[in-house]
Chain A
């Protein structure tokens, strides 16, 4: 199954600006993109609609990882997905250029909490994205599929139009 992700340029800018803000004790920030979804002939398209930053007080003070968020942050994201009938994608940023990928800790934590979104919105795919200074990567958990799919294409829609094929 092909999974493509589309997002407006303005939303990417909003996310980058938020994720780049320093935090009192977390080394990095994270957030959630709420998305709409559409079927294509050989897969799905996920369309980024808006961004919900994790609030300052919802980070845990854990020096062993870049950012650890508490149950409150997850609960708020779950509640938003439920109330607004949306797909949710966790996002964080790695401070380098080129194609990013998740750390081992990222992969472990994603696999734990992303499927939780099916408890509130089982009909939607959900996932996790990682942003670098100039690129994207991501995994998508699709309903009724055992393993997550790597997102094969990102389109950053604006002028210019950027297409990242992975």
Chain B
């Protein structure tokens, strides 16, 4: 255990080595993904694959950890901002930047040990989980939303760990055909969704906690699926009732062996 990480010794004598050997993909470097990248750098994460096609703009500065007014003025790529942040905290980290949509660079994420999905749409989450299942990668999804309510606005969100072979986003009811269809119908008309820094931070921190518990667990029992619902008005993050109804059941959505690996291998 290095001096640097002495305060996290409870994660195990070999936790430095485990974290340093881990290759983590973060898809979406907005309010959530930037928090995750920063925290993983502090923890001693070894290899990062950062994916985001966008540059920093003024309207990102309310939540994008590591971004400066100068970045917005210059239009610095988000992946470059996070690379700078990670290397500043942990100079030994390897940072692979994909300034593109992840779908355009299909080989980039396959050898990641864990994927963090910090994307805006249900469709993107669906695609990411499919990739994660196909290449046997645990997938941690975070997201937040703000909607008008009776007495003002309602802040909500979720952190879900989707483990290959276990319950998926469909099983726990987070993804449905109806939601995808509704989203597809709204395509192009969604506009910018409300995002603020503190729920991003709560959700990202919880996702990082899920990750650390997964690779260098500090307590029992281990859970292979988690679904936590955030109530940003009550300031609580609680296990979803939806998960309780399906716990112990098998995933029916990714049970075929042909769902694994490269479907076109050798053709």
Contacts and interface: CB of A to CB of B under 8 A. Distances in A.
A157 interface: yes
B257 interface: yes
A8 B164 contact: yes
Interface in A132-166: 155, 157-161, 163, 165
Nearest to A155: B113
A36 B165 contact: no
Contact of A10 (B107, B165, B222, B261): B165
Contacts of A66: none
B134 to A, nearest CB: 8
A123 interface: yes
Interface in B96-155: 107-108, 110-111, 113-114, 134-138
Given A4-B111, A38-B261, A39-B107, A161 B214 contact: yes
Interface string B248-267: 00000000010011100111
A59 to B, nearest CB: 27
A8 B108 CA distance: 22
Given A4-B111, A8-B136, A38-B262, A163 B21 contact: yes
Contacts of B21: 163, 165
B22 interface: yes
B152 to A, nearest CB: 38
Contacts of A38: 110, 134-135, 261-262, 265
Nearest to A41: B107
Contacts of A4: 111
**Interface size range of chain B in the complex:** 20 to 34
A37 B267 CA distance: 12
A49 B165 CA distance: 11
**Interface size range of chain A in the complex:** 20 to 34
Contacts of A126: none
Interface in A20-40: 35-40
A159 B18 CA distance: 15
A37 B265 contact: yes
A8 B136 CA distance: 8
19 contacts: A4-B111, A35-B261, A36-B257, A37-B265, A38-B110, A38-B265, A39-B262, A47-B135, A47-B136, A121-B266, A123-B265, A123-B266, A124-B265, A124-B266, A157-B137, A157-B138, A159-B214, A163-B22, A165-B21
Interface of B: 18, 21-22, 107-108, 110-111, 113-114, 134-138, 163-165, 214-217, 222-224, 257, 260-262, 265-267
Interface of A: 4, 6-8, 10, 35-41, 45, 47, 49-50, 85, 121, 123-124, 155, 157-161, 163, 165
Given A40-B110, A41-B107, 5 more contacts: A36-B265, A38-B134, A38-B265, A47-B135, A161-B114
Give 9 closest A-B pairs by Cβ, nearest first. Answer: A36-B261, A123-B266, A38-B262, A36-B260, A159-B222, A159-B224, A40-B111, A6-B136, A38-B261
